[in-house]
Amino acid sequence: MSAYALELKDVRKNFGKTEIIRGVNLAVKAGERVAVIGPNGAGKSTLFNLISGRFGPTSGDILLNGQAIQHKTPYEINRMGLSRSFQITNIFPKLSVFENLRCAVLWSLGYKYTFFKFLSGLKDANDRTNELLEMIHLDKKRDVLAVNLTYAEQRALEIGVTIAGGSDVILLDEPTAGMSKSETSRFIQLIKEVTVGKTLLTVEHDMGVVFGLADKIAVVVYGEVIAFDTPDAVRANAKVQEAYLGSPVADSQAGGH
């Protein structure tokens, strides 16, 4: 039983001759909430894609609860207990909210590819789906087709689909992208509620969110993690200041730009 829920060991990723991820080392303990920040193009989404299995690293190891998952398919990784959400909403547009969530719970409840049981008779699936509906506050929109939801509702559904399977490690890719200030703070509250006890990694740009949500911050610049520490330590870190502001700052300015 590994001490870490998620480990990255010298992970590298090249696209052709371009090095995108240049030796990332990261070790996340179970239950930690990590915010992944960094300038645009630093490779944050690429890291998420590597971890979740969208493509494999050029070299290096990725371990989930001690087991190697690099080069495994997304569904294998998901079955081992890792789920991710997407920056651009990635739900099932022609299915209702309820159906979206129910699809996401099916495998984790062991229903696999069965075609001789009726969905309406699967009590545990339906109960869990109703539970999820209430958790993400979309119970009034139960039968609305996903394509007809508002943007914020779709993002909530995106989170719902991500946590539905009960994975212990959750990756959220810019969950509050495109939201207004008030929507964001409500959404962060939602994220906190639904990810209690889980290991969480989220890519975020909003510093207010980051400092309010995260136990630890990983700063990614040019494909490398230049800092991985508590929020205060990161704020004071000279390398981070240099990356964001161009030169180390004499005294610690209040964060949140």
Partner 1 sequence: MAAVYKFKPYNVGRWVIWSLFALVLVLAPLVFTSNLSVTMLAQMGIAIIACLSYNILLGQGGMLSFGHAVYTGLGSYMAIHALNAVSGGKLNIPVSLLPIVGGVAGMGFAVLLGWVTTRKSGTPFAMITLGVAELVFAMSLMFSEFFGGEAGVSGNRVAGEAFFGITYGPQIQVYYLIAVYTFVCVALMYAFTQTPLGRILNAVRDNPERVEFIGYNTQRVRYIAFIIAGFFAGIAGGLGALNFEIVTAEVVGAGRSGAYLLFTFLGGATFFFGPIIGAILMIIAFVLLSELTKAWLLYLGLVFLFMVMYAPGGIASLIMMNLRVAKFGKLRQIWTSYLGLGLTAIVMLAGAGAMIEMVYHLQLNSALGDTVKFMGATLNAKSLDSWFGSAFVMLTGLGLFELARRQFARDWGEIQTDIEKEIKRRETAV
Residue 88 tokens read as 């651009």
Considering the rule CB under 8 A, would residue 179 count as an interface residue with partner 1?
no
- Tell me which of 13, 33, 84, 155 binds partner 1, using CB under 8 A: 84
Considering the rule CB under 8 A, would residue 111 count as an interface residue with partner 1?
yes
Considering the rule CB under 8 A, would residue 237 count as an interface residue with partner 1?
no
- Tell me which of 2, 14, 90, 185 binds partner 1, using CB under 8 A: 90
Which residues, 6+ apart, have CB-to-CB distance to 30 below 8 Å? 4, 5, 168, 199
Strands (E), 174-232: 199-203, 216-221, 224-229
Nearer to partner 1, 135 or 219 (CB): 135
Give yes or no for a contact between 172 and 84, defined as CB atoms under 8 angstroms apart. yes
Considering the rule CB under 8 A, would residue 143 count as an interface residue with partner 1?
no
Nearer to partner 1, 95 or 177 (CB): 95
Nearer to partner 1, 110 or 246 (CB): 110
Relative to beta strand 18-29, strand 67-68 is unpaired
- Tell me which of 46, 52, 70, 199 binds partner 1, using CB under 8 A: 52
Which whole-number Å values give the CA distances from 247 to 104, 209, 232, 242, 250, in the listed order? 46, 24, 18, 4, 9
CA dist 145 and 96 (Å) reads 4
- Tell me which of 19, 45, 87, 107 binds partner 1, using CB under 8 A: 107
Give yes or no for a contact between 187 and 174, defined as CB atoms under 8 angstroms apart. no
Considering the rule CB under 8 A, would residue 152 count as an interface residue with partner 1?
no
Nearer to partner 1, 52 or 70 (CB): 52
Nearer to partner 1, 115 or 254 (CB): 115
Q: Which of the ranges 31-39, 59-67, 112-120, 225-233 carries the binding residues for partner 1, by CB under 8 A?
A: 112-120
Considering the rule CB under 8 A, would residue 95 count as an interface residue with partner 1?
yes
3-state SS, one letter per residue, for 40-58: CCCCHHHHHHHHHCCCCCC
- Burial (CB < 10 A; 0-12, 13-18, 19+), residue 201, is buried
Considering the rule CB under 8 A, would residue 113 count as an interface residue with partner 1?
yes
Q: Which of the ranges 9-17, 30-38, 75-83, 218-226 carries the binding residues for partner 1, by CB under 8 A?
A: 75-83
Nearer to partner 1, 16 or 110 (CB): 110
Considering the rule CB under 8 A, would residue 238 count as an interface residue with partner 1?
no
The residue assigned the tokens 């929020």 is 231
CA dist 74 and 241 (Å) reads 36
Footprint of partner 1 on this chain (CB under 8 A)? 52, 73-75, 78-79, 83-84, 86, 90-95, 99, 102-104, 106-108, 111-120, 122, 161, 164-165
